[in-house]
């Protein structure tokens, strides 16, 4: 078991190294010059050369990459080119906001999706099952920014129940934050709920076709009891995998939702930095998103191994 976990951790670290190279190379090959973008209209050959010397842009890329990676591992995310302030304090508050939004959406989506998936599997073929399948398929097909704008139109503009802009700040108490975050959390819930529900339903129905389930039915055991006591423990592994992968999407995929609702999270911070060509911020936020996604994927993998003993053996 420890060997398997060690392999997963080593593979995750290797993946992060490859992703860090891709992020750094991607920001390096962007068109235009960072020094010229910083100086704007005051860019002259002398000023541009001085800025490039100050930022270390004259050094070889591999030297700057290793310096950036070592600093990142030590907690030094660099300095923003936009405001000349350290990146780490700016990222801290925004990362907390992103994690809080993802946690709020997960607290709604996970139990609701598992419950609807179980009920849909129990009532397979009924009108309820078909209605849930149609609605979930429609929710998967609609992009999250469209759902966000529709919610803003009806809930905020026409009904006036919730604010359309999620401008969270440190002076708000927890209740005010929850109110302001409600619309983006509902948007993320609708995006991830359908996928988790459909996967839960499919996993339960697949197990329900097993011989031991048929034996329990022949013995006269109630159908809901068969699902809860016999089928559900054997579908924990795929359900855990789907839930954790969707949690990874909640953290990494909030970029569009944060931009729609002007939510001060990591996604909004990264998009603003891209528009300002603040390369150090883009690199730092991109690698933090990659670390979060890889960590949650490893958690899903290890949780599946713990929940399913058959995965611990090569055969």
List of residues 6+ apart from 113 with CB closer than 8 A:
192, 193, 194, 196, 197, 200, 243
The per-residue pLDDT for 231 is 72
Residue 290 has pLDDT above 80, yes or no: yes
Is 127 found in the same domain as 62?
no
Mean pLDDT of 94-116: 83
Average pLDDT over residues 282-306: 80
| Span 137-165, pLDDT tens digits | 777 777 777 888 888 888 888 887 877 77
Which one has a higher pLDDT value, 255 or 39?
255
**Residue at 214 is within a domain:** yes
Determine the pLDDT at residue 296: 79
Residue 314 has pLDDT above 70, yes or no: no
- The pLDDT value recorded for residue 53 is 66
At 56 the pLDDT is 63
pTM listed for this prediction: 0.74
Same domain, 68 and 100: no
What letter does residue 217 receive in the DSSP assignment? H
Rounded alpha-carbon distances, angstroms, from residue 292 to 8, 68, 133, 187, 287: 15, 19, 31, 21, 9
Do both 131 and 248 map to the same domain? yes
First to last CA, the chain: 15
Residues 253 and 112 in one domain: yes
Same domain, 67 and 209: no
Domain that holds residue 172: 93-267
- Examine residue 295 and state whether it is found in any structural domain, yes or no: no
User: Is 54 within a domain?
Assistant: yes
- Among residues of the chain, what percentage have pLDDT more than 70? 85
Does 216 share its domain with 120?
A: yes
Same domain, yes or no, for 110 and 214? yes
**Arithmetic mean of pLDDT over the chain:** 77
221 has a pLDDT exceeding 70: yes
Nearest-angstrom CA–CA distance, 242 and 225: 24
Specify if 18 maps to a domain.
no
Domain assignment present for residue 10? The answer is no
Say yes or no: 69 and 101 in one domain: no
Domain count along the chain: 2
Q: Is residue 189 part of a domain?
A: yes
pLDDT at 63 over 70: yes
Same domain, 59 and 140: no
Yes or no: say if 132 and 116 are a contact pair by the CB < 8 Å rule: yes
Q: Specify the CATH number for the domain of residue 166.
A: 1.10.3720.10
Residue 291 lies inside a defined structural domain of this protein: no
Same domain assignment for residues 60 and 181: no
| Domain identity same for 153 and 234 | yes
Instruction: Tell whether 56 and 98 lie within a shared domain.
Output: no
Strand partners, 86: 79
């Amino acid at each position: 078991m420890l060997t398997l976990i060690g392999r997963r951790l080593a593979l995750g670290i290797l993946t992060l190294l490859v992703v860090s190279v891709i992020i750094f190379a991607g920001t390096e090959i962007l068109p235009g010059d960072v020094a010229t973008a910083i100086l704007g209209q005051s860019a002259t050959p002398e000023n541009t050369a001085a800025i490039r010397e100050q930022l270390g842009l004259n050094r070889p890329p591999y030297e700057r990459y290793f310096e950036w990676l070592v600093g990142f591992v030590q907690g030094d995310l660099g300095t923003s080119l936009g405001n000349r302030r350290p990146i780490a304090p700016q990222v801290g508050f925004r990362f907390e906001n992103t994690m809080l939004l993802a946690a709020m959406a997960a607290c709604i989506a996970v139990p609701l999706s598992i419950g609807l998936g179980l009920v849909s599997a129990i009532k397979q073929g009924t009108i309820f099952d078909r209605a849930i399948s149609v609605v979930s398929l429609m929710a998967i097909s609609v992009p999250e920014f469209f759902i966000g704008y529709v919610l803003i139109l009806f809930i905020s503009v026409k009904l006036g129940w919730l604010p359309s802009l999620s401008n969270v700040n440190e002076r708000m108490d927890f209740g005010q934050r929850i109110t302001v975050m409600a619309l983006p959390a509902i948007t993320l819930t609708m995006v991830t709920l359908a996928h988790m529900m459909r996967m839960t339903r499919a996993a339960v129905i697949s197990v329900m076709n097993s011989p031991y389930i048929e034996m329990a039915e022949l013995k006269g055991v109630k159908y809901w009891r068969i699902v809860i006591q016999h089928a559900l423990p054997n579908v924990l592994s795929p359900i855990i995998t789907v839930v954790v992968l969707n949690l990874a999407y909640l953290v990494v995929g909030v970029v569009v939702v944060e931009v729609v609702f002007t939510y001060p999270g990591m996604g909004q911070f990264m998009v603003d930095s891209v528009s300002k060509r603040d390369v150090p911020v883009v690199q730092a936020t991109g690698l933090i998103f990659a670390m979060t996604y890889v960590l949650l994927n490893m958690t899903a993998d290890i949780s599946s191994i713990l929940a399913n003993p058959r995965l611990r053996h090569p055969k």
